[in-house]
């Protein structure tokens, strides 16, 4: 145990761990409190006590991909599909700005209805509201990413899901691991703040694989890392799998913070699906971002990535008040800034 505590202490100051050292922390359950406290101290030192709220608009649940773990997968016939029209997306963003959000996140399945022209129109109109804008809309060409950037997009989220090419091929049929990495490189080249991340608890995933994921995030110098548990969806081929657990997911957050001290790390909604205090615990273990849903009405329930998703019956205003209360309760404050990564 002492060896692991000294390892955590060293990582807190050097921000460096080998693959085998990361694996040893994942396997251990005796020094978890020390790990989480160290990650929280690093978070406080490098990104402060402010929590950045990003207003999430889930604007289409139509997807041409067929990922084995995702409720939005193309072959899921049990989901009612929707897409929100450009002007309505802009109105939702306007309302979110009225609630006080400084960042809007536009997320969808890979839906080709939203052409470059449509997205340019949406992006340029939202940018008039003096907010940061994040896109999370999947794999695109360099030219498409360039067009979104020129229209005003600031950040782009595209999770690698797993850096294990064999596992990726099983989980994401018909997709290319190399192309996924190409997307990340292109986004960096174009000057986006780049977000990526992984799913924790996929079938056949190992601690070694998760360690590789974190080292990959560090290697590409990602600006934001979103990690969370895989939660099996009954409408997918992985419905009978065990899924990810809360503790391992929390360890991945903590180790990521130790190795990448000044990045943004969200406390994901999925963490609260597994634990009623999931997001606040994650905020106390290295995270500094929360992405409340600002989509309205029936759409909130229909963006069914996984079962048990929280707040689907809530209103955006209630969501904002609820998470603000939780943040204040743990002695933190809601940030008044747009929350760009500040590199030392």
Alpha helices, DSSP H only, in the chain? 2-14, 19-27, 32-47, 86-99, 116-127, 142-151, 165-171, 177-189, 207-220, 246-259, 269-274, 278-283, 299-302, 316-329
Pick from 275, 272, 274, 265: which is nearest to 293 by CA?
272
Report residue 103 CA to chain centroid gap: 14
Q: Cα(85)–Cα(119) distance, rounded to whole angstroms?
A: 11
Q: Bridge-partner residues for 50, per DSSP? A: 333
List of residues 6+ apart from 143 with CB closer than 8 A: none
31 belongs to an annotated ligand binding site? no
Provide the 8-state DSSP code for 136: E
* Angstrom distance (rounded) from CA 153 to CA 251: 31
**Separation between Cα atoms, residue 325 and residue 320, nearest integer Å:** 9
108 known ligand binder: no
The reply, when asked if residue 335 is annotated as ligand binding, is no
Is 183 annotated among the ligand-binding residues?
no
> Does residue 319 have a known ligand-binding role?
no
67 assigned binding-site residue: yes
Tokens 């997306």, residue? 89
Give the residue ranges of the annotated binding site for S-adenosyl-L-methionine.
Answer: 161, 180
Give the residue ranges of the annotated binding site for (3R)-3-methyl-D-ornithine.
Answer: 136
Give the residue ranges of the annotated binding site.
Answer: 63, 67, 70, 136, 161, 180
Give the residue ranges of the annotated binding site for [4Fe-4S] cluster.
Answer: 63, 67, 70
């Amino acid at each position: 145990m002492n060896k692991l505590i000294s390892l955590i202490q060293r990582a807190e100051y050097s921000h460096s761990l080998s693959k085998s050292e990361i694996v040893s922390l994942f396997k251990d359950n005796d020094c978890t409190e020390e790990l989480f406290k160290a990650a929280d101290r690093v978070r406080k030192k490098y990104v402060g006590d402010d929590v950045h709220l990003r207003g999430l608009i889930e604007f289409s649940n139509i997807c041409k991909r067929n990922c084995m773990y995702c409720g939005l997968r193309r072959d899921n016939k049990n989901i009612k599909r929707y897409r929100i029209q450009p002007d309505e997306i802009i109105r939702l963003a306007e309302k979110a700005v009225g609630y006080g959000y400084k960042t809007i996140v536009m997320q969808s399945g890979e839906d080709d209805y939203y052409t470059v022209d449509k997205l340019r129109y949406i992006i340029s109109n939202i940018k008039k509201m003096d907010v940061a804008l994040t896109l999370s809309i999947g794999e695109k060409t360099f030219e498409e990413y360039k067009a979104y950037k020129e229209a005003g997009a600031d950040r782009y989220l595209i999770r690698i899901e797993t850096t294990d090419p064999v596992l990726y091929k099983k989980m994401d049929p018909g997709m290319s691991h190399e192309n996924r990495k190409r997307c990340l490189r292109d986004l960096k080249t174009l000057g986006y703040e780049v977000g990526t991340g992984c799913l924790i608890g996929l079938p056949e995933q190992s601690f070694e694989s998760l360690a590789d994921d974190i080292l990959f995030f560090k290697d590409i110098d990602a600006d934001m890392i979103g990690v969370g548990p895989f939660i099996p969806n009954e409408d997918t081929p992985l419905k009978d799998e065990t899924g990810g657990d809360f503790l391992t997911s929390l360890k991945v957050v903590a180790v990521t913070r130790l190795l990448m001290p000044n990045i943004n790390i969200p406390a994901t909604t999925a963490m609260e699906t597994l634990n009623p205090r999931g997001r606040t615990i994650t905020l106390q273990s290295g995270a500094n971002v929360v992405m409340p849903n600002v989509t309205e009405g029936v759409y909130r329930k229909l963006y069914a990535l996984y079962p048990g998703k929280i707040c689907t019956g809530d209103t955006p205003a209630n969501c904002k008040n609820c998470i603000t209360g939780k943040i204040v309760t743990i002695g933190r404050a809601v940030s008044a800034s747009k929350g760009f990564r500040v590199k030392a």
